[in-house]
Amino acid sequence: MAEEYKYEYFNVTFPAEYVAHVEINRPEKLNAFVEQMWLNLSAIFKRLSHDSNIRSIILTGSGDRAFTAGLDVTVIDRSPQAASQGTLSQSSSDSARTATALRRHIFEFQGCITALEKCEKPIIAALHGISYGLALDISLACDIRLCAADTRFSIKEVDIGLAADIGTLSRLPKAVGNFSWVKDVCLSARIFGSDEAEKVGLVSGVYGGKAEVVSEGLKLASLIASKSPVAVQGTKEILNYSRDRSVEEGLRYTAVWNQAMLQTQDVKDAMLSGLQKKTPRFSKL
């Protein structure tokens, strides 16, 4: 199975039953992202999404120093010219044509990160060290955020002259209930630590060092993987759906979702196991 998950810049392993561990692997560059990396990130999670051997996922960064330092600006040129080369067959000095190239580029990049949110299985991001820019875009598309005490966060984009456009500005106001703080860190690009991240609810757990947070993340991933995948995947789906809509819309969607899902054998198996104090075993999904 590991063979199927060979992607440059990533290690994908399977540390426990039904659990995948995806590691960003470019430690010599603080796991800074080049374009191939977000393409591969997306490919990995699209595959995991439909892989019936997987029920939960942990995402980490290799090395001691960084989850990721963000975009590798020494390699990636986010300038219009660069974008044009990627998606328009000719370079152009016309603003509308450059805009078209940029828009296509942003949509593609956003889509790669949104692949994590759309992945049917829950993803736990375990952050440590430098966690700048794209670190936020990526971890906000995950379901649960844990971090090591040494984590330093920054929403860096205004410092390079742009409004963050890969997801942070759209997801952060819905992940954290302190809009004043959200604006503060997005407008100032200041670095903040794990205590502050926990206090405002950006992360739901802080652990000693990288080893610890990864270990805790794995424990949580294993716990989730032991539950009915019908229940777990439905819960992720409905929570994401409801975040973006009225309670009334959420309730209706939930009922229509569960009109199929309550027919599963898992309900009976889970209930019986509960009564018998046994660990249930669920079919693949």
What does residue 13 show for φ and ψ, rounded to 5 degrees? -130, 175
Nearer to a copy of itself, 11 or 175 (CB): 175
Min. distance of Cβ 106 from a copy of itself in angstroms?
Answer: 4
Nearer to a copy of itself, 11 or 92 (CB): 92
Q: Give least dist CB 26 to a copy of itself, A.
A: 20
Beta-carbon-side half-sphere exposure of residue 63 (alpha carbons within 13 Å)? 19
Q: How far is the CB of 236 from a copy of itself (least distance, A)?
A: 7
Element (H, E) at 66: strand 66-68
Bridge partners of 16, per DSSP, are: 19
Q: Of 11-19, 23-31, 36-44, 264-272, which part binds a copy of itself (CB under 8 A)?
A: 264-272
Which region among 1-9, 13-21, 35-43, 114-122 touches a copy of itself (by CB under 8 A)? Answer: 114-122
Identify the residue among 8, 17, 64, 159 touching a copy of itself (CB under 8 A).
159
Q: Which is nearer to a copy of itself, 122 or 129 (CB)?
A: 122
Work out whether 250 is an interface residue with a copy of itself (CB under 8 A): yes
Opening angle at CA 259, ends 255 and 260, nearest 5: 130
Could you give the count of Cα atoms lying within 13 Å of 55 in the half-sphere of its Cβ?
Answer: 24
263 binds a copy of itself (CB under 8 A): yes
What is the H or E stretch that residue 131 is in? strand 130-132
By CB under 8 A, name the one of 16, 43, 189, 191 that touches a copy of itself: 189
3-state SS assignment for residue 229: helix
Q: Does 143 contact a copy of itself by CB under 8 A?
A: yes
Question: Cα(95)–Cα(114) distance, rounded to whole angstroms?
Answer: 28
Q: Which of 182, 206, 214, 218 binds a copy of itself (CB under 8 A)?
A: 182
Give the whole-angstrom CA distance, residue 99 versus residue 215: 45
> Which value, in Å, is the radius of gyration of the alpha carbons in the chain?
20
- Considering the complex, state which of residue 149 and residue 267 has its C-beta at the smaller distance from a copy of itself: 267
Whether 250 and 268 have beta carbons less than 8 Å apart is answered as: no
Rounded CA separation 112/180 (Å): 29
Which residues ranging from 14 to 53 are in contact with a copy of itself (CB under 8 A)?
A: 50, 52
Position 171 contacts a copy of itself (CB under 8 A): yes
**Of 3, 4, 6, 161, which lies in the binding site for a copy of itself, with binding defined by CB under 8 A?**
161
